[in-house]
Structure 1
């Protein structure tokens, strides 16, 4: 790398030494060598041969002018709109942010107003194509940057269920919970509004399967389908999940997607004398506070016989109805592949400790010092090299999981078709009282469920305004 350094101030002082009584005194080389100084401003040039491989191929070099200093900045900007229309087309802006505040890391109003973000070694840089040719050289990009920015960046006015702040974003930014390079979170789910085997707006909830009676195996077997009843899944709090850090990387983005797998605690089914509630109760680990299991009454279910074999036909022929069926057993291995599509307008609180830059380029440019996956695209581009740590992802509201019901019904049906339930309840088979049946242990680990969720309000995204006097933005 070829480096040119311009020294301001010292250039005037290197020849002479000011002495109060003697005036200007000439210094020899030895005396001059004992004087230390530093450049306030420096200029560097990186030729294409020493740039990123993609820039070498494009014959792009870089001219950089920077300050060897730490600057402090506290700022409120009502709106930033860059790259609206133009070569990138109508329908939005490359960057559209409202109510932007940059301050020190304090997240109290008084603390923010009285503090400033620190920008270490700010600089401006130009990307020049064909730098060695006076006839064909052209500037294809420039960026405003700093080696490190430390401060709190907030966007928007409030953390509510209504998106505000980030309308669109072009750029690169990794988001993680802490320095583990992962997203950690706690998902709490709402109690179900429909019985598992009842009707639902999400589809068919009927469970089918086989039931063998009195220890006779296939000689006394019926096939059945449920027509009503069942059990509800109760409210489940603080179910932990972990996934890899996410990267916002692209043009004019309005949302980002998080995917992870959430384990649902085992559901233990009791019969009508167990004392378990039909809606269910949840057991929690006394140390971690995480859920460990769900106790629920396995009924009341209404079932209809769809076919019968041998001795079973004498007791419960096709079309027979059982109005009071209670089940015992366990449903284990329940997992849900969670896909969260999150509006960027619900992301507000971004503690920054990273090299950052805002750039404009005519073509894709790989700027030096950026993340390996970060190539600035045509137009305006906002970039952060190091991950932004937003803490644990904890939705403020309960997640509705009713969409899982048809999937659970299908998975249970497939299991009971291969592994029939058992009953020795002759009175129940004859219609004398309730019918109890043991479904055994239903392991559903081979059939993960799909849970799609959009736009959750997150606890960790609340922030104090960078204003005095109780104003949300100033």
Structure 2
């Protein structure tokens, strides 16, 4: 600490001598009087600051066993511009956090200015000079991305010193490089692949990154419903004057199933985060969607059903759904896991961030602390919502990142939800108010193997039902196409 104080005093003394004696001009150094000195103002290029272990700004001050750490900060009061490409960033490989992996492993990392050439914003909304294309991909004007630079405001270096007041026991337990604000586009990877990559993009990330709530849409693959036992339907019918219950027979050769067409489903994602050591994927829970499913389209539209028999006859029938039949408002609760190697574009719009190395878990000054963790005295009791820089290398961003409108590039298979749809649809169709009344002629025709078409479209309203649950993973997103940070045709430079 004594060396830090000596350096500080030396810089102050040197500055005082220079300011009190002269100023620079084209003719050389000129003397200043006391009145001229008093009228002069200025700002230092560099700043030094110290947060003691008991300072209110020290987030470690109440942490049991770790409350004797001070923070020394050397800052540059300036705005820097940077345009950079890093072919292979690997930090903390092996070592403290175990062999066979790296704390941070990112292939083809690029940093530049934010997009400036599109007519849409990051969410795909048409706006003048939005910087993005209609799918939310970065777009650049003029000479492209390589002609722009990231703007880094007030960068600084900071050291975490244990026992700062003891010359014999003081110890450096952490170091970080940071900035107060960063306006930039950070990209990881060269190609927006349809599946996770082991040679491109983010392979491993130890750090803390929050993502803002957003919206998106996907299309579903066509499917066939009602051909397996877990997709059995049931309901109520009145035929030939008798109230009867029916249940479909998936095993029958007369059950052709019901064609489910491809549909577009909009969804909304809550805020989510990546937080922890050597993370390889981001998990989002409670992604909510509502889906309407036509039931009268495609080549198949027939179920064989069993009835309560009438005098031991009319026990079976083939039923077709009338045109206009559909499922309305099916609520979905989706759990979504995305490989980090498939997340390429990370816009930083004024957020701070840091890259650090620490011997022990630390709360650096200014780290994000969730409200539920305020006042806790043990880092082991903190929730996953707080930014604790874990031992080893750590990358963190202060403010949530907006990933924009998340459009699926290819249709996704949702057939895993069909059994839940069958259960919910059957519960709806078994309501007395949903009983189907069959015309006498159609009902009699079933005795001779004629397929009966329901007299009216079957509208299955599931908007008030509990959400069906679905798990998806690694959906290729349209707005994650990375832009090259090179001139000409080069993809990486």
How would you bin the TM-score normalised by the shorter chain?
Answer: 0.7 to 0.9
Paired residue secondary structure (1:212)? strand
Q: Does 1:384 align with 2:384?
A: no
Corresponding residue to 2:460 among 429, 435, 442: 442
In structure 2, distance between residues paired with 1:19 and 1:166? 50
Partner of 1:198: 227
CA root-mean-square deviation: 2.8
In structure 2, distance between residues paired with 1:153 and 1:204? 46
Q: Does 1:17 align with 2:26?
A: no
Closer, same or farther: CA 188–125 of 1 in aligned 2, 3 Å: same
Closer, same or farther: CA 41–303 of 1 in aligned 2, 3 Å: same
Corresponding residue to 1:183 among 198, 214, 227: 214
Q: Does 1:453 align with 2:472?
A: yes
CA shift digits 1:216-273 (9 cap, x unpaired): 43xxx24432332232221213x32222222111111100112311101264x6xxxx
Paired residue secondary structure (1:159)? coil
Correspondence 1:210-221 to 2 at 5 A: 210-217=236-243, 221=244
Closer, same or farther: CA 167–26 of 1 in aligned 2, 3 Å: same
Structure 2: 5+ residue stretches without partners: 116-138, 370-385
Q: What displacement does 1:39 show?
A: 0.9
Q: Does 1:38 align with 2:43?
A: yes
Corresponding residue to 1:422 among 430, 436, 440: 436
Structure 1: 5+ residue stretches without partners: 177-181, 270-275, 280-296
Closer, same or farther: CA 115–223 of 1 in aligned 2, 3 Å: closer
Q: Does 1:255 align with 2:281?
A: yes
Q: What displacement does 1:330 show?
A: 5.2
Partner of 1:468: 487
Partner of 1:168: 204
In structure 2, distance between residues paired with 1:356 and 1:462? 23
In structure 1, distance between residues paired with 2:15 and 2:482? 45
Corresponding residue to 1:240 among 253, 262, 266: 266
Does structure 1 retain, via aligned residues, the 8 Å contact 2:261–2:298? no
Q: What displacement does 1:208 show?
A: 3.2
Q: Does 1:111 align with 2:116?
A: no
CA shift digits 1:392-446 (9 cap, x unpaired): 1111111122112222122223334454732333333332533244686534332
In structure 1, distance between residues paired with 2:160 and 2:45? 23
Does structure 2 retain, via aligned residues, the 8 Å contact 1:55–1:365? no
Q: Does 1:78 align with 2:87?
A: yes
Closer, same or farther: CA 118–22 of 1 in aligned 2, 3 Å: closer
Q: What displacement does 1:88 show?
A: 0.9
Q: Does 1:400 align with 2:431?
A: no
Q: What displacement does 1:324 show?
A: 4.4
In structure 1, distance between residues paired with 2:471 and 2:399? 29
Paired residue secondary structure (2:43)? coil
Partner of 1:54: 60
TM-score scaled by length of structure 2? 0.79
Partner of 1:358: 355
TM-score scaled by length of structure 1? 0.82
Q: What displacement does 1:54 show?
A: 3.3
CA shift digits 1:114-142 (9 cap, x unpaired): 22111111110011122122222211111
Closer, same or farther: CA 278–17 of 1 in aligned 2, 3 Å: closer
Corresponding residue to 1:337 among 330, 333, 338: 333
Correspondence 1:94-109 to 2 at 5 A: 94-106=103-115, 107-108=139-140
The structure with the greater share of residues assigned to strand is 1
Partner of 2:306: 304
Q: What displacement does 1:102 show?
A: 0.9
Paired residue secondary structure (1:357)? strand
Partner of 2:248: 225
Does structure 2 retain, via aligned residues, the 8 Å contact 1:116–1:151? yes
Does structure 1 retain, via aligned residues, the 8 Å contact 2:189–2:482? no
In structure 1, distance between residues paired with 2:365 and 2:93? 26
